[in-house]
Amino acid sequence: MSAPAGFEELRDLYQEVILDHGRRPRNHFRLDPCDASARGDNPMCGDRVEVFLAFGPEGRIARASFLGRGCAVSQASASLLTETVPGLSPQEAKALSARLREMAKTGARDDSTEALARLSALSGVHEFPSRVKCATLAWHALDAALDGVKEASSE
Partner 1 sequence: MMDAAPARLDVARVRQDFPILATTVRGRPLVFLDSGASAQKPRAVIEAMTRCMETAYANVHRGAYRLSELATEAYEAARAAAQRFLGAEHAEEIVFTRNSTEAFNLVAHSFGRGLLQPGQAVLVSEMEHHANLVPWQMLRDAGLGIGLRFVRVTDAGELDLDDLARHLAQGDVGLVSVTHMSNVLGTVTPAAAIARMAHAAGARVMFDGSQAAVHRAVDVRAIGADFYAFTGHKLYGPTGIGVLYGRRELLSAMPPFLGGGDMIETVTLEHSSWAAPPARFEAGTPAIVEAVGLHAAIDYVTALGMEAIEAHERDLVEHASARLAQVKGLSLLGAPQDRGGVFAFALEGVHPHDLATFLDRRGVCVRAGRHCAEPLHARFGLEGGTARASFGLYTTREEIEALAEALDAAREFFA
The distance from CA 139 to its chain's CA centroid, rounded to whole angstroms, is 5
Outline where DSSP puts E strands in the chain: 36-42, 47-55, 61-69, 151-153
Question: Minimum distance from CB of 8 to partner 1 (Å)?
Answer: 10
Largest Cα–Cα distance of the chain, in whole Å? 54
- Does the protein bind partner 1 through residue 55 (CB under 8 A)? no
Q: Decide: helix, strand or coil at residue 51.
A: strand
- 2 sits near partner 1 (criterion: CB under 8 A): no
Asked whether the beta carbons of 53 and 35 are under 8 A apart, the reply is yes
- Of the residues 21, 99, 126, 131, which one makes contact with partner 1 according to CB under 8 A: 131
Name the segment binding partner 1 (CB under 8 A); options: 65-73, 79-87, 96-104, 107-115.
65-73
Q: Which residues ranging from 3 to 42 are in contact with partner 1 (CB under 8 A)? A: 4-7, 9-10, 13-14, 19, 22-23
Which residues in the 99-128 window bind partner 1 by CB under 8 A? 128
**Cβ neighbours around 34 below 10 Å, total:** 16
Q: Which residues bind partner 1 (CB under 8 A)?
A: 4-7, 9-10, 13-14, 19, 22-23, 44-47, 69-73, 128, 130-131, 134
